[in-house]
Structure 1
Amino acid sequence: MTGFALGVDQEEWCGQLRALAAERLRPLAEKGEPGRVNRPLLAALGELGLLERVFASGALELCLLRESLAYGCTEAETALALQGLGAYPVLRAGSEEQRERWLPGVRAGRAVAAFALSEPGAGSDAAALALAATADPAVAPAAGGGWRLSGEKCWISNAPEADFYTVFARTGEGPGAKGVSAFLVPADRPGLSGAPLDMLSPHPIGSLTFDGVPVGPRDLLGEPGRGFRVAMDTLNLFRPSVGAFAVGMARAALDATLAYTADRTAFGGTLSDLQAVAHRVAEMATRTEAARLLVYAAAGAYDRGAGDVPRRAAMAKLLATETAQYVVDHAVQLHGAVALQRGHLLEHLYREVRAPRIYEGASEVQRTIIAKELYAGVVTR
């Protein structure tokens, strides 16, 4: 990608992905049960090699992948993204033993991963999490002791059906973010239970209860007290790609609106003949393109190892998710009542588009990150 323009090979790959999502993955998604992990869909993503691409690619390719899948099948995109979010900390910070045990199953779509950060009292304020990891010499005594996890996690995608969780807990090495550690916790650990939550989103979201769940040094992801960095490294990669997901939805809504308004007759012509309609579509297209460019600029910065990735990632997620909400809302308005029928593309997108403005840091959190990064470079008298 040079000058924010895709190469021929990239454009062809994106086209292939959009077709694949619509023709191969959407039928599997439609057979799934809302609020449940769709394991046949995950298996297909594995068979097609798309889950492997999540871990083998950089941020730019991940964004292309997520945008293209979102255009044709949001459920496939979300299933793929949640596998990446839950397992990426294992790839980056896990031991060789952890990677060998879990990542092949994740890549094949057999093992379901989940990223367990949010809590009832610590959603967007991740550094305020309260899940306690209390030292217990009786846990893993041969390794010098371990911890017991006690507390709750909430709004965890893929819970309670995941096969393992990347869990962030307070081990107390320091205040705030300095006292957080990351653990890989298999779902069958004693004391771990969960329950589904009835949410607007069609993918599974649940709560987790930790009642003295034992974890040892071999379950750590990285070093004790460095778990917050593991979380932020993951989010810095996935935040721009959340933007790509949003752009994919916006582009699907925009294309549907172009086709509908060009064909729908009203007031002696087509809707597209009306200046109010044409100008609104022009605004939708302009905002979508601006968001797309910002997403890929952030992805490029991540792949280059630039120092301003947190700011760029926050800007990309903020603009893209807010833009997608705008575009989908106006697409529904221009379609009228037909777009509110169950099963209509825009009815589906209208439900899907709301959540990305909240998860992985709400829009208000992104603005806070952006402002903090901007003011960090200001020299005061």
Structure 2
Amino acid sequence: MPAFSLGPERSAWCAELRALAADRLRPLAEKGEPGRVNRALLTELGRLGLLERLFTSDALTLCLMRESLAHACTEAETALALQGLGAHPVHAHGTPGQRERWLPGVAEGRLVAAFALSEPEAGSDAAALSLAAEPEDTGPGGGSGGGPGGGPGGGARRWRLSGEKCWISNAPEADFYTVFARTTPGAGARGVTAFLVPADRPGLTGSPLEMLSPHPIGTLRFDGVPVTADDVLGEVDRGFRVAMTTLNLFRPSVGAFAVGMAQAALDATLAHTARRQAFGGPLKDLQTVSHQVAEMALRTEAARLMVYAAATAYDTGAPDVPQRAAMAKLLATETAQYVVDTAVQLHGARALRRGHLLEHLYREVRAPRIYEGASEVQRGIIAKELYARPHLTGEAP
């Protein structure tokens, strides 16, 4: 039981989720094809009401859901999380019509969402996006002159998207994409607009990428893809805010995903070292082993508490959410890498065999240190927030 008190109802719900993941979701995950969207798994997540919770839960509940699912079925956790990441901008910034059109299908597992931010030359530096939203001449009063959006694209009503997105989870199989494109050249983060782009728009194509982690990732090519003002999420030239508010919510829950994997590796290691005989007794009786297991448990619990604290800060509207979210993702993902790697070492060669839990976790655990902001980006965010504190503006004594 974590030191952070969840209360009996939430604790029971987490236990129920772990059981559901093991009994009903893992069999569906095992039937899926690596690198492809598992629509049967999404349908079951919808049937269980878990996808609907993406739009009704606070940040802490989202973290508990992701941690619990990850403990027993990482594929189910990832499928749920990618739906949330792709659809949250529609839920938080979409018009009533956009929400009515797309969110029920996401909640039921019928429609697959994706978050299209990264580009071949703009991964960690998201403000350097180059996917161009070129305004169309729409006649008198609707041309491409400046307007409320604050830039050349601000007064446009129609655009054509041209360029490429890369490392996009659920691409190219998603039914719609939250796409971030540059509407004002040279404006950095202030010239990006978020668009809701259905997958069947003319000029939009994609291809899958073969990656280490088993969930679907691909590229998207935009060849004059038409979008209009009705497709904008939020405001023109204010799309970077849409991206950052989404990431501030989901970064702590990436940490929760990592904590779930770390806990699964720790549990497997406790069982293995208690029964495995070596040097005249169980492995757990060797001090070097028991101390490593203690360190695994210590780091896992510390990461869990930081994730819960970051989620609670988000839910209470605390002013330091970006810093806490970055800290939680950084600590939890780095911790999970350490814990899973140590678990593999203590298990020996058996953990490297295809199909072993730790072999699976070892492949899964690497990617979260990169996506939704690499560890180095998180350190940059933390430092920026620290130096921006008002008490540091004066001269040192």
Q: Where on the TM-score scale, by shorter chain, does this alignment land: which range? A: over 0.9
Give 1:257 shift. 0.1
Report Cα offsets for 1:292-320 as digits up to 9, x if no partner.
00000000000000000000000000000
3-state secondary structure, aligned to 1:380: coil
For 1:60, the equivalent position in structure 2 comes to 60
Query: In the alignment, residue 162 of structure 1 is paired with which amino acid?
Result: A
Q: Find the partner of 1:231 among 238, 243, 266.
A: 243
AA aligned to 2:79 is A
Give yes or no for contact 1:131–1:151 (8 Å, CA) kept in 2: yes
CA contact (8 A) 2:136 2:156 kept: no
Q: Please, which moves more after superposition, 355-364 or 141-150? A: 141-150
Letter in 2 for 1:380: G
Q: CA offset at residue 5 of structure 1?
A: 1.4
Tell me the alpha carbon deviations over residues 167-222 of structure 1, each in whole angstroms, 9 at most, x when there is no partner: 00000076100000000000000000000001011110000000000000000001
Alpha-carbon distance, 1:353 to partner: 0.1
Q: Does 1:309 align with 2:318?
A: no
What is residue 151 of structure 2 aligned with on the other side?
none
Give the superposition deviation at 1:144: 6.2
Distance 2:20 2:124 in 1: 35
> Aligned-pair distance for 1:90?
0.2
Q: In the alignment, what sits opposite 1:38? A: 38
CA separation in 2, counterparts of 1:12 and 1:118? 38
CA distance in 2, matches of 1:239, 1:316: 7
- Give the match for residue 394 of structure 2: 380
User: Does structure 1 conserve the Cα–Cα contact (< 8 Å) formed by 2:161 and 2:222?
Assistant: yes
Contact 2:135 2:156 in 1 (8 A): no
Q: Name the stretch that deviates more: 144-153 or 309-318.
A: 144-153
| TM superposition shift of 1:380 | 3.4
Alignment match of 1:355 (pick from 347, 367, 379): 367
User: Structure 2 counterpart of 1:275, which letter?
Assistant: Q
Compute the displacement of 1:2 (Å). Answer: 11
Does the alignment pair 1:186 with 2:193?
no
Count of aligned residue pairs for this structure pair: 380
Deviation at 1:137, TM superposition (A): 2.5
Separation (CA, whole Å) in 2 of partners of 1:223 and 1:4: 39
Summarize the alignment of residues 201-212 of structure 1 with structure 2, pairs less than 5 Å apart: 201-212=213-224
Q: Is the 8 A contact 1:178 1:228 kept in 2?
A: yes
Query: What secondary structure sits across from 2:121 in the alignment?
Result: coil
Report the Cα distance in structure 1 between the residues aligned to 2:122 and 2:2, rounded to whole angstroms: 40
Q: Residue in 1 aligned with 2:107?
A: 107
Residue 6 of structure 1: CA displacement? 1.3
Report how far residue 85 of structure 1 moved.
Answer: 0.1
- Which ranges in structure 2 are unaligned for 5 or more consecutive residues? 144-154
State the SS of the aligned residue for 2:51.
Answer: helix
- The 1:328/1:3 distance shift into structure 2, 3 A limit, reads closer
> Could you tell me how far apart the structure 2 residues matched to 1:265 and 1:91 are?
53
How far did residue 109 of structure 1 move?
0.3
Structure 1's unaligned 5+ residue stretches are none
Q: Is contact 2:136-2:160 (8 Å) kept?
A: yes
Change (3 A) 1:144 1:180: closer
Task: Pick closer, same or farther for the CA change 1:144–1:245 going to 2, 3 Å.
Answer: closer
Distance 1:71 1:14 in 2: 10
Provide the rounded CA distance (Å) in 2 between the counterparts of 1:125 and 1:265. 50
Q: Partners in 2 of 1:174 and 1:296 — Cα distance?
A: 38
The within-5 A match list for 1:337-348 is 337-348=349-360
Alignment of 1:176-325 (within 5 A): 176-325=188-337
Given that residues 166 and 184 in structure 1 are in contact (C-alpha distance below 8 angstroms), is that contact kept between their aligned partners in structure 2? yes
Q: What is the Cα-based RMSD across aligned positions, in Å?
A: 1.6
* 8 Å contact from structure 2 (residues 135, 160) kept in 1: yes
The letter for the 2-side match of 1:26 is R
| SS of equivalent residue, structure 2 residue 220 | strand
Does the residue aligned with 1:361 lie in a helix, a strand or coil?
Answer: coil
| Alignment equivalent of 2:343, drawn from 323, 331, 334 | 331
1:149 and 2:161 equivalent?
yes
The runs of at least 4 aligned residues of structure 1 exceeding 4 Å deviation read: 141-144
- Secondary structure of 1:50 counterpart: coil
Contact residue 130 and residue 151 of structure 1 kept, 8 A: yes
Deviations 1:70-103 (A, max 9, x none): 0010000000000000000000110111000000
- Alpha-carbon separation, structure 2, partners of 1:236 and 1:360: 10
Partner of 1:170: 182
1:10-30 Cα shifts (integer Å, max 9, x gaps): 111000000100110000000
TM-score, structure 1 normalization: 0.98
Alignment of 1:135-146 (within 5 A): 135-138=135-138, 145-146=157-158
CA–CA distance in structure 1, aligned partners of residues 123 and 279 of structure 2: 49
Amino acid at match of 2:133: A
**Letter in structure 1 aligned against 2:258:** A
Given residue 366 of structure 1, which amino acid in structure 2 is its aligned partner? Q
**8 Å CA contact 1:257, 1:334 repeated in 2:** yes
Deviation of residue 379 (structure 1)?
1.9
Conserved? CA contact 1:174–1:225, under 8 Å? no
| Distance (whole Å) between structure 2 residues aligned to residue 138 and residue 318 of structure 1 | 46
Task: Give the secondary-structure state (helix, strand or coil) at the position aligned to 2:123.
Answer: coil
Aligned match of 1:369 = 381
Amino acid at match of 2:231: D
In 1: Cα distance, 2:156 partner to 2:117 partner: 26
User: Does 1:89 find its partner at 2:103?
Assistant: no
CA distance in 1, matches of 2:97, 2:214: 34
Report deviation, 1:54.
1.2
* 1:173/1:225 contact within 8 Å kept: no
